[in-house]
Structure 1
Amino acid sequence: MRKLRLLLFPFSIIYYVVTLLRNRLYNSDILSSKKYDLPIICVGNLSVGGTGKSPMTEYIIRLLVNDSNVATLSRGYGRHTKGYRDVSPSDPVRKVGDEPLQFAQKFKELSVAVCEDRQLGIETLLTKENKPDIILLDDAFQHRKVEAGFNVLLTAYGDLYCDDYLLPAGNLREPKSGAKRAQVIVVTKCPDTLTIDEEREIKNKLDLSVSQKLFFSKITYDAQVFSTKGGVQLNSLKTKKVTLVTGIANPSLFVQHIALQGVSFTHKQYKDHHNFSKNELEELEELECILTTEKDYVRLRPMLKKVKLFYLPIKIELIKDAALFDAMIYNCVREEKR
């Protein structure tokens, strides 16, 4: 891996120059970002996948959706369509993408849309009769044509952006200096054993500006797994021949959690947003019991009819200072609505 990184490093230098120049053009207003007259909150990262954007977006949805008309706008990664599209709970995943469909199925009161052009997406949402008064941009930190009022930047514990390299030698989409645009940085997927000394060390490594706030979060798992027939206790799967099926960027914590519950399983791992082939689906149908992530369940459920298919819900939990984080979100919304 080290030799491969060295071979790719010259291309990362070119990528660095291009992305740095682009950011400087936006920072100098030579390239313009459009600001809208409503609260826009962006959840994103510097790296390619695996930081927990969907659970964080859901966390913010839960904060706001009962008191406001909230919409989410995503690119709809992996969909086979282009342009703007409203997402309904019954849409096929190939037309809207797995994460937007998950939002639409989970939050009935939420407006969900996909559009690779975030300006077009926002402007189309604002023409709706029931137009939103808050828009959450999912995975749009690098889409600088839109100026979000509040940026939440995620970085995973054990894989901090400050320790990574730019594409293609590493996984960063833009230089580390881009993190300065975020009001809040959240270190996700932290272990329960995280110490104050570790927190201090991470804060020093990230080199935050005075105005930025740092939070630490962890993934929590439901005690139940769910299928079309409802929920059952996770430990009830101990008597079954379970196959863990994952198509996410980094399934290691998910796999580790299932193992710690005493469930025996084999693991079929696919790449993030994997499009399952006919042969792969036929192989999966022959299994006794599949346990998967909620995002993968959204894709697999319409395609698998015979096999017992379950998913395990997850949530993000702020380890401390949750009230401060929530207050920053609420304050952003109040200020932007003025």
Structure 2
Amino acid sequence: MEILRKILLPVLFPISLIYGLVVYIRNRLYDNHIFLKPAEFKIPLITIGNITVGGTGKTPHTEFLIDTLKTQFKIATLSRGYKRKSKGFVLASIESTTAEIGDEPRQIKQKFPEIIVAVDSNRARGISMLLEKYPDLDVILLDDAFQHRHVKANMSILLIDYSKPLYKDFILPFGNLREQSSEMRRANIIIITKTPKSLKPIDRRIVFTDLKAFPFQDVYFTTFDYGDLVPVFMNEIKNRSITESKDFSVLLVTGIANPKPLQDYLQSFLSEQVKLIKFPDHHQFNTSDIEQIKNKFDEINASKKIIITTEKDAMRLQNFSNIADNLKESWYYIPIKVVFQNNDTDEFNKKIIDYVRKNKTHSFLYTGKN
């Protein structure tokens, strides 16, 4: 990839400069309310997002926030529903498919059926619809909305992948940044995600120094914990521990931005080499893909073998009803959860809960008029 980028440097770099200028002007217009003014709502809004292309762990961190808030407040999540086939505002139900609401909102609704989940590419309209239907809402979580300036949120959480620091990147298409790294100043909280569990204090200080966070910004480091394997299709099959599967041959099937951390994690437990079929992020699986997976699985000459995928991919795979039973019973997904390092969980939770408690109200669209 780096070699290709260097070859295309004369083409990509000028485009990045032009794109960067457009993004910079847009942000300054929003900052100064010149032609562009974000909608304001009299309800706590929390954005969770990034300014880089690729996965930083938005969904697991959104789920962490839900776990933190759900017992004390009435909450809703709103996202655009990436790659869904529906249009406009859609309120999720437990029966909603990925085609209707997207894989990440479906995952959240399946995991937290008691909370309100909605999708709308127009965030302001989506918030208005939620408040109209649920005037007693306490807080709305806006998934993947950091770079969307159409709505003003007074609590913004910026996620940065530990292995992809902003200060070493460049704006699209030459780099992976959606906007300039300096725009991180809009964040109230910065979370360095996918941090190595063995991170030394000196390395933590180096990251903090290089980040150049502002005094008003709180910086946290998180990592992921992997759970037991869960059947993708057959609920009657019990979960299984990955340690119990160390003698199994594993076919890893992913449609996420970066499967390497998961592949490395699985390999650390397994005696056999993990075989990988990698699809693009948010890949919409089709019958040809299922056939490819089946053929690859059949090629594995072992009496004990399983297929492992991610929880997000499982949401899309469950759309298929015509998969052979022998394949279904061998197919598992591995859930992940966020873990804060340095014993920062309580501090982070308190900041979020205090913000919602101090600002919650059951009210209407704020127009700026008394």
Q: TM-score range by the shorter chain?
A: over 0.9
- For residues 207-248 of structure 1, the C-alpha deviation after alignment (integer angstroms, 9 at most, x for no partner) is 1111111111111111x2011223112133334442100111
Residues 60 and 291 (structure 1), Cα distance of their counterparts in 2 relative to 1, 3 Å cut:
same
Map 1:291-330 → 2, pairs under 5 A: 291-303=308-320, 304-306=323-325, 307=327, 308-320=330-342, 321-330=344-353
Equivalent position amino acid for 1:318 in 2: F
- Which 4+ runs in 1 deviate beyond 6 A? none
Greater shift in the superposed pair: 290-299 or 128-137: 128-137
Partner of 1:18: helix, strand, or coil? helix
* Contact 1:187–1:215 under 8 Å retained in 2: yes
The answer for the alignment partner of 1:12 in structure 2 is 16
* Contact 2:80–2:121 under 8 Å retained in 1: yes
1:246 aligns with 2:246: no
1:276 aligns with 2:285: yes
The separation in 2 between residues aligned to 1:263 and 1:212, in whole angstroms, is 44
The answer for the alignment partner of 1:88 in structure 2 is 93
Residue identity over aligned pairs, in percent, reads 38
* Contact 1:149–1:332 under 8 Å retained in 2: no
Which of 261, 265, 271 is residue 269 of structure 2 equivalent to? 261
The separation in 2 between residues aligned to 1:240 and 1:164, in whole angstroms, is 39
* Contact 1:180–1:209 under 8 Å retained in 2: yes
Greater shift in the superposed pair: 304-313 or 170-179: 304-313
1:334 aligns with 2:357: yes
The answer for the alignment partner of 1:210 in structure 2 is 215
1:67 aligns with 2:72: yes
Partner of 2:8: helix, strand, or coil? helix
The answer for the alignment partner of 1:178 in structure 2 is 183
The separation in 1 between residues aligned to 2:264 and 2:283, in whole angstroms, is 21
Q: CA deviation at 1:132?
A: 2.3
* Contact 2:245–2:270 under 8 Å retained in 1: no
Q: CA deviation at 1:263?
A: 5.4
Q: CA deviation at 1:301?
A: 2.3
Greater shift in the superposed pair: 124-133 or 145-154: 124-133
* Contact 2:138–2:356 under 8 Å retained in 1: no
Partner of 2:346: helix, strand, or coil? helix
Give TM-score scaled by structure 2 length.
0.88
The answer for the alignment partner of 2:38 in structure 1 is 33
The answer for the alignment partner of 1:100 in structure 2 is 105
Q: Rg bigger for which structure?
A: 2
The separation in 2 between residues aligned to 1:310 and 1:263, in whole angstroms, is 19
The separation in 1 between residues aligned to 2:16 and 2:140, in whole angstroms, is 33
Equivalent position amino acid for 1:128 in 2: K
Map 1:121-160 → 2, pairs under 5 A: 121-129=126-134, 131-160=136-165
Partner of 1:59: helix, strand, or coil? helix
The separation in 1 between residues aligned to 2:271 and 2:132, in whole angstroms, is 50
* Contact 1:155–1:185 under 8 Å retained in 2: yes
The answer for the alignment partner of 1:79 in structure 2 is 84
The separation in 2 between residues aligned to 1:292 and 1:131, in whole angstroms, is 38
Equivalent position amino acid for 1:208 in 2: A
Gaps of 5+ in 2: 298-304, 362-370
Q: CA deviation at 1:5?
A: 4.0
Equivalent position amino acid for 1:158 in 2: S
- For residues 20-65 of structure 1, the C-alpha deviation after alignment (integer angstroms, 9 at most, x for no partner) is 0000001101111112111110000010121111111011000001
Residues 179 and 261 (structure 1), Cα distance of their counterparts in 2 relative to 1, 3 Å cut:
same
